[in-house]
Structure 1
Amino acid sequence: MKVEPSVYEEEVKELVWVNAMNAEMNSIHKNNTWELVPLPKGKQVIGVKWIYKVKYHANGSVELHKAILVAKGFAQTLGVDYAETFAPVTRLDTVNIILAIAA
């Protein structure tokens, strides 16, 4: 079983991780996930971190090397750095209503 790297300097030495990072950046640009804007005066830049995962087939062979770029949102303050949040979750009540309508 392959170990996932934990330090950026480790993964940039391996072509599979560089390709995974490039694929993630291409996906971000293609989907317009982030929008770069000028930094407001007196504000600090929010950092990012790469997360690396190895996906496996059922037989244990490597299926995919996945790199995910995440923002360090914990450095933000509600009402100061952002006004709203979004979490793709569903309430059980909503699921029950949809199932009742479908039935």
Structure 2
Amino acid sequence: MHEELNQFVRNDVWTLVPRPTHTNIIGTKWIFKNKTDENGNITFNKARLVAQGYTQVEGIDYDETFAPVARLESIRILLSVKSIFLNGFIQEEVYIEQPKGFVNPTFPDHVYKLKKALYGLKQAPRAWYNRLTSYLNDHGFV
């Protein structure tokens, strides 16, 4: 969990801000998964913080949803690029609660204002797709 949150800090995903009034604040939750090797032995535990996107309000937190369709060639490129696209920039003002167990003791009533998309947000697929497309264009893949 600490590793996941440190990655958010390194990638400048959010900013801790005072809780705005009259704004939808989206909750967060932790998703845990055991990663295994080819023999089925657990090699490490993965924690991922995701936004509770089902609480988003259309027209306020997002304008539209998006589901990109990938070709086999695109999948191969993605595997070589790894996580370059995992934090696409978002255009909307989106606020999320501080993760449970990791509330800032100095500012317990503050929330995070997102600069980049998190898993679970309605606009995350479009943000990631736009970032990936930009990366591929800039590096001559397309």
TM category, shorter: 0.5 to 0.7
Alignment partners' CA distance in 1, 2:60 and 2:42 = 43
Alignment partners' CA distance in 2, 1:59 and 1:91 = 30
Structure 2 SS opposite 1:29: helix
Unaligned stretches of 5+ in structure 2? 75-140
Question: Is the aligned partner of 1:73 residue 2:53?
Answer: yes
- How far apart are 1:26 and its partner, in Å? 0.7
The alignment covers a number of residue pairs equal to: 74
Letter in 1 for 2:33: K
Question: Is the aligned partner of 1:46 residue 2:26?
Answer: yes
Q: Which runs of structure 2 are paired with 1:9-88 in the superposition (5 Å)?
A: 21-83=1-63
Q: 1:90 to 1:36 in 2, by over 3 A?
A: farther
Unaligned stretches of 5+ in structure 1? 1-20, 96-101
- Among all aligned residue pairs of Structure 1 and Structure 2, give the percentage whose two residues are the same amino acid: 44
**TM-score between the two structures when normalised by the length of structure 1:** 0.56
Letter in 2 for 1:28: F
Could you list the per-position Cα deviations for residues 33-64 of structure 1 after superposition, in whole angstroms to 9, with x for gaps in the alignment? 23444443212421100000000000122122
